[in-house]
Structure 1
């Protein structure tokens, strides 16, 4: 490890076939190479055997955390390992993301064209049918997502991007701290962007493309989702409240509008699990105003966020 300037970080949990496709895509990069750190949240589907056998390579480090600590904690751990290993750039992606052969090359090319003045670069994520992956559509402003036409541009400055293919400078991580492990799942990417964006611009590089092999091409949707996934929404709304309330008045306005809209949609469209879904929404929001996680810096100094 450490022969390249770039280290890819992939977090996985019981998705052996998907993470195998992801790793194969990273290894197939042309005109740009990287090492790989894999964080396994305690998979029980043979993922560890896959990495001990097929991927027992010099440029791949595999860490099994032994339990499911969540995507947020896994991502934070992976980024920390990469920074401590002295990589210059960290390329984070979900385990169901498959990069094109030139995805990394285009990110490094963008770095040169931008003269290194950026905090995060984000790839364009497409679904398996070739359409834009809706859950990864980047935010230009708090209330405005990128439109399809924006993906024809060279660069688009945005404020928030997902972990589908996030390219970060190690020195930026040292400045702003790691993603919040306590988020467990959802919004850890947006919250991290909110800190980076205060110091450096964030850009989408549409020429850098990945495929996000999600089962369904849609954003998290409380109304359409199944009851067994309601625990995820408690995390989502709790984390949203913590993330956006730090943004002041506009953040509180966003939270209020989102609550009213979601509450109304559940009332109007949910038939069988109305009470449970409204409970997840209300519980998540309530917990969010009491939630006070801290961001770890690489030197172990803790950043305390002002609460509003």
Structure 2
């Protein structure tokens, strides 16, 4: 039994999902080792990496480290589902999710645990200290004319961390610094692995909020990104398919009215026409496939933790 348990404090499992970024993972593991308040467990989901990730993990002496190696790449969504289930089954009070390309400040976990809320989020910054938190402060699923539902973010609202209040309420999150208490998982279940990548974290935040929880970004909980943030992807690629499909799924599941739930069809028609006019046949195929696939994902996932 850890001294955190004997003191009566909450136990914490950190869940990390990694895929073929062993050198970044080393920096993250070093950061976790330097936490002022260490986690009670660190569960690393190795998504069938083909680089030297296995060697990095084998050599790591981080206390409480547990490695879950998948037989295939489950994507971020499947990886976080597997990691969260392992943490939940381990009986931990809080579960803290992060990718392999971040490093928490030494006091980050201490600051998060000082906040008595069930859903909290650390606030990301670049290596130069600039604010780079893109989690939404407004996520509009009421207005059918809002093409992109994220209409405001922490970063677009505040020029720097010093300008933020101590807490900022969020309407969606990233699985890159998001922490939940186990009662949230008991109520809404695990992340939906069928998203594969993109919007799985948005879906989870929407489920939590609709179950009655508020989500708070904690200003002084610093998480540093090791890579520049880039949300630009080739919409004709396999990633483009998931970006379109999962955006459509969010509208179909959570749109507040019929017009919002009809947006995926409108977007698909416009994108197809424009893409064909500009010779981007791959993007046109993607958006048509995405709409067909999204229709099969309209139902919410089961809430059981299986």
Q: TM-score range by the shorter chain?
A: 0.7 to 0.9
1:145 equivalent to 2:158? Answer no
Q: Give 1:49 shift.
A: 1.7
Partner of 1:41: 47
Provide the TM-score with structure 1 as the length reference: 0.81
Counterparts of 1:91 and 1:164, CA distance in 2 = 9
Aligned counterpart for 1:100 among listed residues 91, 105, 110 = 105
Q: What's the CA shift string for 1:121-145, capped at 9, x where partnerless?
A: 11111123433336x3333332332
Q: 1:262 to 1:88 in 2, by over 3 A?
A: farther
Partner of 2:118: 119
Aligned counterpart for 2:292 among listed residues 274, 286, 294 = 286
Q: Number of paired residues?
A: 284
Q: What's the CA shift string for 1:23-69, capped at 9, x where partnerless?
A: 111111114544200001111112112112x2144410011112111
Partner of 1:306: none
Q: Secondary structure of 1:7's match?
A: strand
Q: Give 1:119 shift.
A: 3.4
- RMSD over equivalenced CA pairs, Å: 3.0
Partner of 1:155: 167
Of 183-192 and 41-50, the range deviating more from structure 2: 41-50
Specify every segment of 5 or more residues in structure 2 that has no aligned partner in the other structure, as ranges: 5-10, 141-150
Counterparts of 2:49 and 2:251, CA distance in 1 = 32
Q: What's the CA shift string for 1:129-177, capped at 9, x where partnerless?
A: 433336x333333233231258421101111011110011111101110
Q: Is the 8 A contact 1:6 1:88 kept in 2?
A: yes
Aligned counterpart for 2:216 among listed residues 203, 216, 221 = 203
Q: What's the CA shift string for 1:241-272, capped at 9, x where partnerless?
A: 2222222335853873896499569949x96x
Specify every segment of 5 or more residues in structure 1 that has no aligned partner in the other structure, as ranges: 112-117, 301-308
Counterparts of 1:182 and 1:28, CA distance in 2 = 34
Q: Is the 8 A contact 2:189 2:305 kept in 1?
A: no
